[in-house]
Amino acid sequence: MELFRRNRTFILLGSLPALVLYVLFVIYPIFRSFVYGFYEWNGLSEPTYVGLKNFQEILHDPVFWNSFRNNLLIVGVSIFGQIPIGLVLAVMLSRKFPGSGTYRSIFFIPMVLSTVVVALLWSSLLNPQVGVVNQFLKQIGLGVLAMNWLGDMRTAMAVVCGVIIWQFSGLYMVIFLAAIQNIPKEIYEACSLDGVSERAKLLHVTLPLLWPTVMASVVLCIAGSMRSFDLVYVMTEGGPAHATELMATYMYNKTFAVYKYGYGSAVAMVIFLLSFGMILAGQILMKRKQDTV
Amino acid sequence: MKTSLRRGLRHILLFPVTVVYVFPLLWMVMTSVKTNQEIMYSSFALPRQIHWQNYVEAWKTANMRTYFMNSIVVTVVSIVLTIFISSLISFVLAKFRFRFRNILYSLFIIGMLIPLQSILVPLFIQMRFLGLLDSLWSLVLSYTAFGLPMAIFILESFMRVFPDEVLEAGILDGCSPLRIFLQIVLPMSRPAIASVTILSFLNNWKEFAFALIFISEETKKTLPLGLYNFLGTETNNYAGLMAALIIASLPVLVMYVFLQEQVIKGMTAGAVKG
């Protein structure tokens, strides 16, 4: 057995395929991304070293800061939208009743659809010509509210946030449902024996025991929101007039629309550092809070 | 009395949420069997007769057939590659002893934290250098490479708890490590392999960003990319678009209907760990 465990040939041959693929298409590109960030390069001619110029330019570009703000907005909307909605749904569905399984299945459907499908579906629903939203508003006498939802700078970002909530609330519901099911039944039984009311059970047993899961979900929201790209790219491409620009769409436009590969790589690095920073900050903040509670 | 009141209240609260979730999906189905004139006239009205033609046209003239086939090829090949490569290294990581074991393991696990955007640009340059742009291989290789961390995480933790006696039996019979892997370890890992398969299937089928930057040729597009360009070529054909969205989602929806528990469990675990 010991001999078997130290079979060098098998260890080497067994790890090699995964390692080669992973280094070639994940690790190496990350390092290259760090290098390209210091170069000016249109993808064709020789790259020229420009030091920190790309980074200075990013930090002075109001469009980038606007996109960062939009990312923060999505983080906020996710934390204060998806998590509470998911929590409420989970609490309501945690006790089996006729139809509870069906509700759960329905709320999770958007998670299995491609984000492109979700984006195109909602774009059509909100479309001024064929969409139902405007038509519905007209029918109930609120025709004045009908507008070009995605084409209007004032509403585009709100619409995007709404669709994000629609898409992901089901995920948090399922996460919280699993956590509720892990709470030992004995605790609730003891409560019932002591005559504790349903509301007290929820406030003093369920919610405190769910707190660690809520914290984990906050981190998940931050990580997910910092990387969102597909939905906004398909629905608005960052427009109108950069109103819905996110860091990732900004990077995409800079790289593949105007061929500034070096600049795009620098943006990628900034995204990388900002999201790691935020995740870290989130975790530290919540740890401190947990200690004081 | 009180409980029935509470029960009623629960449905009253859940009903509006359900409408917000179900209505868009029903509207998509309804619109996919209307004519475009009917949609222009009223987007609420039911179709006067079921117009299956939209599906036929999306499938044939709007190239959905090509995208669908490409998606199947890319998804299936990446899944097979991911499963084989990751279970092999997971077996090594779980049951063998060597000096760099922990470093190797951490290297892969860290990968779960890497945001895809941060390597989009360099990976594009890499693919161009390798001459893989506009080839389905660019997608297969990047999906496989990106799927490895999660797959290794799931498979390694599953294999680690295999009792050594099982392996010893194979060793005593004089089997090579490869045979033990193929004939004992792989069959025993079936539940974990199933989770990895479901997760990779969903991820690869839905993926958009990589396809967007690697593929521009019409004949190589996968479904999400093809859908994205749909209205560009089929201007204002919303009926066709809805049919196309349904065609593209059918495989994942069928899987969701039949394997709901596994899908939900897999995606939740994937989200929390990723």
Q: Distance between CA atoms of B206 and B225, rounded to whole angstroms?
A: 10
Q: Distance between CA atoms of B117 and A78, rounded to whole angstroms?
A: 20
Query: Quick one: pLDDT at residue A206?
Result: 87
Q: Do B214 and B153 share a structural domain?
A: yes
Instruction: Indicate yes or no: CB of B118 within 8 angstroms of CB of A269.
Output: yes
Tokens 């057995």 belong to: A1
Whether B19 is covered by a domain: the verdict is yes
CA-to-CA dists, residue A136 to A127, B40, B231, angstroms: 12, 14, 24
Q: Do B44 and B70 share a structural domain?
A: no
CA-based nearest residue to A276, from B98, B115, B124: B115
Query: Quick one: pLDDT at residue B2?
Result: 61
Q: Do B136 and B258 share a structural domain?
A: yes
A52 in contact with B at a CB cutoff of 8 Å?
Answer: no
Q: Do B150 and B17 share a structural domain?
A: no
Mean pLDDT for A115-120 is: 96
* Domains of chain A with bracketed CATH: 39-292 (1.10.3720.10)
Residue B39: Cβ-neighbour burial (10 angstroms; 0-12, 13-18, 19+): buried
Interface of B with A in 186-215 (CB under 8 A): 202, 205-209, 212-213
Q: How many domains would you assign to chain B?
A: 2
Determine contact, residues B205/B251, Cβ cutoff 8 Å.
yes
Q: Do B19 and B91 share a structural domain?
A: no
Q: Do B75 and B19 share a structural domain?
A: no
Task: Give me the count of residues in chain B.
Answer: 274
Q: Do B167 and B31 share a structural domain?
A: no
Query: Quick one: pLDDT at residue A290?
Result: 60
Q: Do B208 and B148 share a structural domain?
A: yes
Prediction pTM value: 0.92
Determine contact, residues B226/B237, Cβ cutoff 8 Å.
no
Tokens 């996110």 belong to: A246
User: What is residue A97's three-state secondary structure?
Assistant: coil
- Distance, CA of A14 to chain centre: 35
Q: Measured between beta carbons, which residues in chain B are less than 8 angstroms from residue A226?
A: 115
Q: Do B9 and B96 share a structural domain?
A: no
What are the φ and ψ backbone dihedral angles of A49, each rounded to 5 degrees?
-70, 125
Cβ of A26: how many Cβ atoms within 10 Å?
A: 21
Query: Quick one: pLDDT at residue A136?
Result: 86
Interface of A with B in 177-206 (CB under 8 A): 178
Q: Distance between CA atoms of B221 and B135, rounded to whole angstroms?
A: 9
Whether B58 is covered by a domain: the verdict is no
Give the DSSP H or E segment for B87: helix B64-95
Which percentage of chain A shows pLDDT scores above 70? 98
User: Smallest CA–CA separation between B272 and chain A, in Å?
Assistant: 7
Whether B142 is covered by a domain: the verdict is yes
Q: Do B235 and B114 share a structural domain?
A: yes
Whether B60 is covered by a domain: the verdict is no
Q: Distance between CA atoms of B43 and B31, rounded to whole angstroms?
A: 8
Q: Within chain B, what is the greatest distance between any pair of CA atoms? A: 77
- For residue A168, give both structure tokens: 């992901």
A223 in contact with B at a CB cutoff of 8 Å?
Answer: yes
Query: Quick one: pLDDT at residue B274?
Result: 44
A96 in contact with B at a CB cutoff of 8 Å?
Answer: no
CA-to-CA dists, residue B52 to A229, B240, B244, angstroms: 33, 10, 12
Confidence band (pLDDT; 50, 70, 90) for A293? very low
> Could you tell me what percentage of chain A is helix, strand and coil, using 3-state DSSP and rounding each to the nearest 5?
75, 0, 25
Determine contact, residues A105/A170, Cβ cutoff 8 Å.
no
Query: Quick one: pLDDT at residue A289?
Result: 63
Determine contact, residues B115/A275, Cβ cutoff 8 Å.
yes
In the chain, the amino acid numbered A182 is N
Q: Do B196 and B162 share a structural domain?
A: yes
Q: Distance between CA atoms of B89 and B74, rounded to whole angstroms?
A: 22
Cis before B24? omega within 30: no
Give the DSSP H or E segment for A49: strand A48-49
Query: Quick one: pLDDT at residue B272?
Result: 64
Q: Measured between beta carbons, which residues in chain A are less than 8 angstroms from residue B250?
A: none
Determine contact, residues A247/A69, Cβ cutoff 8 Å.
no
CA-to-CA dists, residue B95 to B22, B160, B235, angstroms: 48, 7, 57
Give the CA dihedral A217, B145, A18, A35, nearest 10 degrees: -100
- Residue of chain B nearest A255, judged by CA positions: B121
CATH number of the domain that residue B158 is part of:
1.10.3720.10
Mean pLDDT for A153-179 is: 94
pLDDT: which is higher, A228 or B26: B26
Query: Quick one: pLDDT at residue A64?
Result: 95
Whether B260 is covered by a domain: the verdict is yes
Structural domain including B234 reads 66-273
pLDDT tens series, chain B, 274 aa: 566 777 778 888 899 999 999 999 999 999 999 998 888 888 888 888 888 999 999 998 889 999 999 999 999 999 999 999 999 999 999 999 998 999 999 999 888 877 777 788 889 988 999 999 999 999 999 999 999 999 999 999 999 999 988 888 888 888 888 999 999 999 999 999 999 999 999 999 999 999 999 999 999 999 999 999 998 888 889 999 999 999 999 999 999 999 999 899 888 876 665 4
User: ipTM for the complex?
Assistant: 0.93
Q: Do B256 and B149 share a structural domain?
A: yes
- β strands within B157-240, DSSP E: none
Cβ of B154: how many Cβ atoms within 10 Å?
A: 24
Cis before A208? omega within 30: no
